Amino acid sequence: MAEFDLLEKVGKIENRYNEIEHQLSDPALLSDKNLLPKLAKERSRLEPAVLAIKSYKSLVKQIEEDKQIIGSEKDQDLVKIAKDELKELEEKLIPLEKQLKKHLIPPDPRDHKNIIMEIRAGTGGEEAALFAGDLFRMYSKFAEKEGWSQEILSSSPSEKGGFKEVIFSISGERVYSKMKYESGVHRVQRVPVTEANGRIHTSAASVVVLAEPDEIEEIQIDPTELRIDVYRSSGPGGQHVNTTDSAVRITHLPSGIVVACQEERSQHKNKAKCMKILQARLISIRIEKQQNKEAATRKSQIAGGDRSAKIRTYNFPQGRMTDHRIGLTLYRLDSIMNGDIEEIAEQLSLVEQTEKLSSLDL
């Protein structure tokens, strides 16, 4: 790409940054509690790109000066110094151009958001439920390492300690950016604890990652489109069984989405959790429809793609994890199941960035 073409494209980022700086310097903005944090967050996001632009411009200027010396200077010693410096500067320019091009990739506006995760046991009976429990533990361990907080919103435990379904939220710094690649079908190959003959079985669990909506994003839901049922919570027995109708099930009639919560002893709190999950699902459906339209022009979708697709296999006898989307295989399954999934997220992010770069008109 010609230098001026790249500078023209990244110039829009620089102009937006300067515009935000000007707005933030306005004392009247201090009274706007909604716009102020929004602008501050956008400035923080654009700052690395602006610093890279300044470095790039400085480098281009030095290159032009050296070229002028080489073309007009009579002193051959100065010409030699300029040629040597020019070679070094042009080598520095290549990685800086790549860095600038990455800043041209439109950011996913959901990357900074908290998430709601849904894990459901698939084929494989009780073993699938146990695997769903293992996945929940894996994500919980990863969240703990990242310093994120977690809350179970709804769960349906299985008889042997797994989950038929578990829905939970994770809150923290840029949670969605790292967890968005987990949506899809996860397959496990191992000898189940329920198998007396020691044969390897294949089971599966599905994972859905939903970006938690901000207040300004929430869809206005018509109360007349909801059917709300209350019932008595089920539990392990004894003192933990709720004797009041605190469990809540909400059916969104237009979409057919059904959400149920019974984790809290308060009907009001369970209803609030149900509405939180419902909002996230409805917004996710809206975003997916838009992405499906855009996907026609893209090679593939690493994140937010087909949730019915098999994305990963965990092979316990071989201690192997394979992510089928990018052909990544790691032979450290024990550490992965203990929440060490940072490398997987980084590799998936790198591939997605590369694909997006190739689709840009650069």
Secondary structure of 209-238 as H, E, C letters? EEECCCCCCCCCCCHHHEEEEEECCCCCCH
> In this structure, is residue 7 part of a structural domain?
yes
Residue 242 confidence (pLDDT): 52
What are 5's two structure tokens? 């073409």
pLDDT of amino acid 195: 72
Cβ atoms of residues 163 and 157 within 8 Å:
yes
Residue 107's pLDDT is: 77
From residue 330, alpha-carbon distances to 23, 162, 212, 227, 336 in Å are: 48, 25, 31, 46, 9
- Residues 94, 143, single domain; the answer is no
- How far apart are the C-alpha atoms of 47 and 92, rounded to whole Å? 21
Summarised one tens digit per residue, pLDDT across range 1-24 is 444 467 777 888 889 999 999 998
Domain residues for 345? 115-355
Q: Domain for residue 28, yes or no?
A: yes
Contact predicate 194/161, CB 8 Å: no
Condensed to tens digits (0 to 9), the pLDDT of residues 78-115 reads 888 989 999 999 898 888 888 888 888 877 888 889 99
Residues 85, 81: Cα–Cα separation, whole Å: 6
Residues 129 and 221 in one domain: yes
The answer to whether 330 touches 321, Cβ cutoff 8 Å, is yes
Q: What is the pLDDT of residue 2?
A: 45
Where the chain has pLDDT below 70, the residues are 1-5, 194, 196, 215-217, 234-244, 290-308, 360-362
Give domain status of residue 361, yes or no.
Answer: no
pLDDT score recorded for residue 146: 96
- Position 212 scores a pLDDT of 87
Residue 123 has a pLDDT of: 84
- In this structure, the answer to whether residues 198 and 311 fall within a common structural domain is yes
User: Whole-model pTM?
Assistant: 0.73
